[in-house]
Structure 1
Amino acid sequence: LVIRWEDREKIAIPRPNRGGRGGQIVGSYVQDVDVGIHRWPAVLDFKSMYPSIMISKNICYTTRIDENARPDEVPESDYHESPLGAKFLPQKTRRGLVPRLLENLMSLRATHKNAMKEAKQVGDTHAEQFHDQMQYAVKILMNSFYGVFASKFYRFTHEDLGSSITAWARSNIKSIINQLGDEGYKIVYSDTDSVFVEAHVRKDAPVKEPLDGEDRQAWDEATEQLIKFGHELAERFTKDDAELEFETGLSSFFSHGAKKRYVGQVVWPETKLLVRGYEVRRTDSFTLLTDAMTEMFSMILDGEQEDAVSMVRELIEQVRNRDIRPRDLVISKSCKGKVLKNGKVDFNATYANPDRMVQVRAARQRIEAGLNFTPGMKVGWLVTDGSKSPMKITAWLEDETGEVQSDYDADWYVNRIANSLGRITEAFGWTADDLKKGNRQTNLFSF
C-alpha cells in the first residue's frame, strides 16, 4: 500500500534497513490490577487509538522533523511534539502519507460497518457476516501500521514514530486515570486503550441478577446507573482526535492479580461471561478443565467463592478416583505434515523434531490404526504417563473405532487442574497444593 502511494506521489522509496532490530521501544500502559472482586465497573475503550493518534498527530516518516534540521525547515509553531520530544509537521504544512492512507481505511471500515448493520436489520445473515469480516480485516490492517512503525527493519520508519505513538497513547490513558482518581473513582484496571472504572451505584445492589423482588429492583437500578455513568464518561473524555467509547458494563469483575487475565459478568450491551487470558481460550486445554474454570468464574462473580473452592476440590477427587469420563480429558491440537506421492505423511518437513511433538505421535497412531489423517486436522489424545520425557500419550480413537479408552495418568491431570485453578483460588487463600490435599490450615476468607 505504502509503496503504491509513494510511486503515485513521486516520493523516493528508501532502501530497506538491514541494521537489525536494535532496542525495543516503550510499549502501551498496563496498570496493575488489584486481586479480588470489584463491583459494577464500566469499561471504556479508545476507538482505533493508534490509527487515530497517527492521523491527528500527522505521524509519518514524511512529516518527521529531524533534530538536525535547519531552522528554516522547522515551523515556528503548530508542529506536533510528542511527550518524548519528537516533532512532526502540522497538517497544513504537509499531510503525511500514512495518515492519509489511514483516513481512507477508516472510511472503508465505516462503510462495511454500516452495511453490516443494514444487513442485520433485514435479516441477511450472509451479507452481515461478509461485511463483519471485511471491517475486521480493515481493522487489522489499520493496526498493523503501528507494528511496522515500531519495527527496526521496515524501510518507511524511524524510532521516533513508534515511540511517539505509544507515548501519546500512554499520555491519553493516564490523563483519564489521574483525573478520575482525583475525583474519587476507583480505577480497577487499565490495558493499552481500555480503562475499567467502578461506577457509583446503590450499595445494596446484588451483582448476581435476581429474578424478582426488591433485589431485582436494586439490580435494575444499578444497571441503569452503570450505563448512564459509562456513556457520560465516554462523552466527557472524547476529543476530536481520540474517541472514547463505552464498550461494556459489568456487574462484577475478578482477577487473581496477573495482567491481561480477568473475568467479568457483562450486563450491557448484552448478558454474557467475559473471559480474558485464562485457559478457557487455550487450544491445549481439555473439556473438564475449561468447563470447571467457566463454572468457577460464574460462582466467583456471583459472590459464591466458598462454593467455587468446594467444587474444585470435589472435581480433583473425582479425577483422582477415575470417576469422570475419559473423553472430557482429551487434549486436541492441529497437526501439520506433507503427504507424499506414495500416500505416506512426512512430518519432518514441518517439524524439526517430530518424535517429541505430542500431536505428531497422536497422528501417527491414527495412521497406524488405519484411520484417515489430513494435514492440518486436529488430533486428540489422552496423557497416560506424564512423568516420562516426552510424556506418553494414547491417541483418542474411541469415537471412530468404538473401542473403549479409559487409561489416563490421574496424577498428571490432577496436577494440571490444581495448578490452573489454583492460580485463581489463591486469591481466596487456597493454593494448588491445598486443592490437591483437600484442606488447609487457615480460614477460607482470612485474606
Structure 2
Amino acid sequence: LHPWIAVLDFKSMYPSIMIGNNVCYTTRIDPSHPEQPAEADPTHVSPTEAVFWSAEHRKGLVPTLLEDLMNQRDEHKAQIKLARKDEQAEKEEFHDSMQYAVKIMMNSFYGVFASGFYRFTHKDLGSSITAWARQNIKTIIQKLEDEGHHVVYSDTDSIFVCSPVPEGSPSVLKEDDDEATIAAYEGAKQAMIDFGLDIAKQYSRDSAVLEYEKGLSVFFSHGAKKRYVGQVVYPSEEMLIRGYETQRTDSFEYLTTSMKKTFTYALADEGEALVQHARECVASLKNHSVDARRLILAKSCKGRVQSNGEVDFTKDYARPESMAQVRAAMILIDRGLGFTPGMKISYVVTDASKRPMQVHPWIEAEDDGGIPGYDGRFYAERMAAALGRITEAFGWNAKELFEGNRQTTLFSF
C-alpha cells in the first residue's frame, strides 16, 4: 500500500520513438547496401545496433505520417478541454472518440512493422522500437531512483513513483476528519501534483515525452504484474482498477460490486474489515441468499440461421454442446423466443457438478428470470478465487475464504 503516487505516462511511446529516431523501411541502413553513411553523417543507432538515417539525410515516410497524426490527436485533445470547460458534452464525446481513433491508427504502425506479413518491413524495425522503449523506461527509472525517488511500479509505457509529500500526510479522508486533517490532505495532494508536473517536464526529451497522467492518493498492488488498484484524485476522482475481475466481460454483477467494496477497504488499510467483507460475500453465495439477478453471466453466441429457420452452431463451434451460451441459446430457441447470431446470451449456472455444466437462460419476462435455482458452490468458488487475489495480501487465500476459516500454523504466531 503506497500513498501519494504520481503516474507518469510516455506520450504515444512507440509512435514517438518512430518519429524521434526516424524509424522506417525507407531509412533503415542495410549493411549490404552500397549507400553507407560516412563517419560524419548523422544516424540513429538502436540498442539492437540497427542503424537508421536521420531525418536531415532522409525523412522516413512513416515518421512523416505519424507526425501528422500526432498533431491531429493533439488538436482533438485540446478541443476536449475546451468542450469540457464550456460543458459541451456532445462535442467532448466527439473529440474524445476522434483522438482515440487516431491513437489506434498511430499504434497500428508498430504492429505492422513487427509483423512478418507486411512487404515493406524488416525484423530490425520492430525489435529496435521495443528495445528503445525498454531503454526509455529503464533510463527514467534509474534517474528517478538516483535522485531518491521510489518507483513502486512500471509497465510498458507508465511509471508509478512516490511523491515527496510532508511526512504523516493522510492519504484517505473520512467523514469525521477535522479541518487540520483535511488541510493536510489537500496540501499533500497539491505537493503530488506539483511533483508530477515537474518530473514530467524535467525528464521529457525527443522520442520520450513524459506526461503527468494522473495522481493517486493511495495505490495497492501485489503479486501479478498489471494487477493493481488506486484512488485517483487528479485530474478527476475515480477508482483505478487494472487486472482484476471487474474488468472482465465474463464477470457477474455481485462479484464486481463485492470487489469494488473490497478495494475500498484495501485502500483505507482496513485489513480486518476487508477480510470479513470477503468472507461474508462468499458465505452469502453458499447460503443462496443472493438474488439470482446479480449472478447473470453473459456471452456472445454465434450461429447460422438456416433457410428452414433452424440454427446451426456447428460451423462456428467444434463442440457447441460444451458451450454454456450455446446451450442457453438452444433453450431460448426451443421456447420460440428467437435468436440473432452474435447476440449476448444471459444465463445463470444451475449445476456445475455435471458435465457439461447446466445453465438456464435469464428470461426477463418471467418471474425470477425463469431461473429454477443456482449453483451456490460454483459462484462461491468464483467469488473466493477473485477476492482471494486481494485477501492473500492480508493472510487469507482463496481456499480459506471458501471454507470460511483459516488454518493456524506455527508461522501464524
TM-score (norm 1): 0.87
Code of the residue aligned with 2:71 in structure 1: it is S
Distance 2:21 2:408 in 1: 55
Give the direction of change, closer, same or farther, for the CA distance of 1:88–1:446 in structure 2 (3 Å limit).
Answer: farther
Question: Which AA in structure 1 matches 2:122?
Answer: H
Over 3 Å counting, the alpha-carbon distance change for 1:118 and 1:271 in structure 2 is: closer
Question: What letter matches 1:98 in structure 2?
Answer: V
**Residue from 192, 196, 213 that aligns with 2:156:** 192
Q: 2:123 aligns with which of 159, 172, 176?
A: 159
Within the alignment, does 1:252 sit opposite 2:218 as a pair?
yes
Distance 1:350 1:433 in 2: 37
- Compute the displacement of 1:442 (Å): 4.9
Tell me, yes or no, if structure 1 residue 54 matches structure 2 residue 36. no
Is residue 2:56 matched to residue 1:108?
A: no
Residue 61 of structure 1 aligns with an amino acid whose one-letter code is Y
Correspondence 1:203 to 2:167: yes
Separation (CA, whole Å) in 2 of partners of 1:59 and 1:281: 35
Alignment partner, residue 315 of structure 1 = 281
CA distance in 2, matches of 1:120, 1:43: 22
1:267-346 aligned at under 5 Å gives the runs 267-346=233-312
The aligned amino acid for 2:56 is: K
Which residue, out of 367, 378, 396, partners 1:402? 367
Q: CA separation in 1, counterparts of 2:86 and 2:4?
A: 35
Deviations 1:27-56 (A, max 9, x none): xxxxxxxxxx11111100010111011011
Instruction: Letter of the 2:367 partner, please give it.
Output: G
Structure 1: gaps spanning 5 or more residues? 1-36
Find the counterpart in structure 1 of residue 391 from structure 2.
Answer: 425
What one-letter code is carried by the residue in structure 1 that aligns with 2:281?
Answer: L
Q: 1:53 to 1:306 in 2, by over 3 A?
A: same
* Distance across 1 between alignment mates of 2:309 and 2:81: 48
Change beyond 3 A, Cα 1:122–1:182: closer
Instruction: State the one-letter code of the partner of 1:86.
Output: A
**1:158-199 CA distances to partner (integer Å, 9 max, x unpaired)?**
111011111111111111111111222111111011000011
1:351 corresponding residue in structure 2: 317
Question: Paired residue for 1:382?
Answer: 348
Q: Does 1:84 align with 2:30?
A: no
CA RMSD in angstroms comes to 1.9
Question: Corresponding residue for 2:3?
Answer: 39
User: 2:114 touches 2:126 (CA, 8 Å); kept in 1?
Assistant: yes
CA distance in 2, matches of 1:322, 1:54: 56
| Structure 2 match to 1:14 | none
Query: SS in structure 2 opposite 1:263?
Result: strand
Change (3 A) 1:248 1:119: closer
Segments of 5+ residues of structure 2 without an aligned counterpart are none
How far is 1:446 from its partner? 6.4
Structure 1, 323-332 or 117-126: larger mean CA deviation: 117-126
Q: Which residue identity is paired with 1:80?
A: H
Please say if 1:369 is aligned against 2:335: yes
Q: Could you tell me which amino acid in structure 2 is paired with residue 412 of structure 1?
A: F
Does the 8 Å contact 2:18/2:207 carry over to 1?
no
Q: CA deviation at 1:226?
A: 0.7
Match of 1:411 among 351, 358, 377: 377
Where in structure 1 do 4 or more consecutive aligned residues deviate above 4 Å? none
The CA deviation at 1:340 is: 2.8
Residue in structure 2 matching 1:137, options 101, 105, 125: 101
Q: CA offsets per residue over residues 272-328 of structure 1, 9 Å max, x none?
A: 100011100111111111111111011101111210110011111111111111111
Name the aligned partner's letter for residue 265 of structure 2: M
Distance 1:65 1:233, change over 3 A: same
Residue number in structure 1 paired with 2:402: 436
**Does the CA contact (< 8 Å) of 2:348 and 2:371 recur in 1?**
no
What is the distance in 2 between the residues matched to 1:220 and 1:418? Answer: 37
> Residues 429 and 446 of structure 1 are in contact (CA less than 8 Å); yes or no, is this contact kept in structure 2?
no
Find the aligned partners of 2:104 and 2:33 in 1 and give their Cα distance: 35
Distance 2:258 2:54 in 1: 55
Give the partner amino acid of 1:188. Answer: V
Amino acid paired to 2:389: R
Provide the C-alpha distance between the structure 2 equivalents of 1:106 and 1:229, rounded to a whole number of angstroms. 26
Q: Distance in 1 between matches of 2:89 and 2:308?
A: 43
- Number of residue-to-residue matches in the alignment: 408
Contact 1:75 1:89 in 2 (8 A): no
The change in CA–CA distance for 1:446 and 1:179 in structure 2 (over 3 A counts) is: farther
